[in-house]
Amino acid sequence: MAKARVLLVEDDPAQAAATREILSKGDYEVLWAADGINAIKLVTRDKPDIILLDVVLPGMTGHEVCRWLKREESTKAIPIIMLTVKKELSDKISGLHIGADDYLPKPYNELELNARIYASLRTKALQDELRQKNSQLEELLEKVNNMAITDPLTGLFNRRRFSEVLSSEFERAKRYDTPFSLAMLDIDFFKKVNDTYGHDVGDTVLKGVAGVLLNSLRKIDTAARFGGEEFMVILPNTEKANAVIVAERIRQSIEQATFSGVDRPVTASIGIASMPDSGIDQEDKVIRCADIALYQAKQTGRNRVLTAGSADL
């Protein structure tokens, strides 16, 4: 615990000098405050490793200072040892109840003071290590969870996540009669792209189309790679007419985009299905309607947006 920073909060100059001498011999860096207000300022500014806090102080009492520090997110992890001439059990219990980590009555023995400081710092180090490991574990779990719902090539959501979101939106639409739309997008003649330019260029096109989708959508929308060159877009709170506007904007953006390694325009066909639709009573029917609209768009010339509903099933 060498060179740990200790804040001593003590209003008695003689007592403070004696304690600072003890701490200096223990190879600690010592800060000193004579009252509670300055103690809080020093803690906020210098972030000591541990605080030795006298209970009886001018203005704010040590208990009030302790209570304030333990409520603040940035300072609550700093261990506090309360120092007092009072030896009543009630004073000790009061300090511990408001968050003090230890309690040392005056006059204190030099060896005991160093031992209490060392023990508190060791406990803090173990707690810091545990917090760090928990943080690393949470980051790892978040990474694993993201990998489980993300398409590795495009960075969009995968089919699993798409199914989860579609189920949620479908149930919400059925229960509250709120609109949502589903757009199914397919890159036109994508096999020719792979055959002509190679699969690496094909992957570049897929990633480029994914980028167009992300740049064209709201935060509440969900874009997913459905498989191969097919993509799905879920548009919450979006009726069919507005979905067509969004899809047309996406179609034009893809047509106008340039893709590395491809010397001709890349286009896409899009089919749209929307809720509410009295004839759609299962979520898979939403997909089927969007698929029918996409098929019709392909059959009538590609590079266009069409819609379909339950009447087309």
Residues classed as catalytic: 229
- The values of phi and psi at residue 129, to 5°, are -65, -40
Q: Cis before residue 105, ω within 30 degrees of 0?
A: no
Query: 42-56 b/e with 16+ CB inside 10 Å = b?
Result: bbeeeebbbbbbbbe
Instruction: Give the CA distances from residue 75 to residues 40, 49, 71, 150, 264, in Å, rounded to whole numbers and listed in that order.
Output: 10, 10, 8, 38, 61
Look up residue 120 and give its DSSP letter: H
Question: Comparing C-alpha atoms, which of 183, 286, 168, 185 is closest to residue 242?
Answer: 183
Q: Are 184 and 291 in contact (CB under 8 A)?
A: yes
Q: Are 150 and 224 in contact (CB under 8 A)?
A: no
Residue type for position 281: D
Question: Comparing C-alpha atoms, which of 240, 313, 228 is closest to residue 276?
Answer: 240
Q: How many CB atoms lie within 10 A of CB 272?
A: 27
- CA atoms within a 13 Å half-sphere pointing along the CA-CB vector of 70: 18
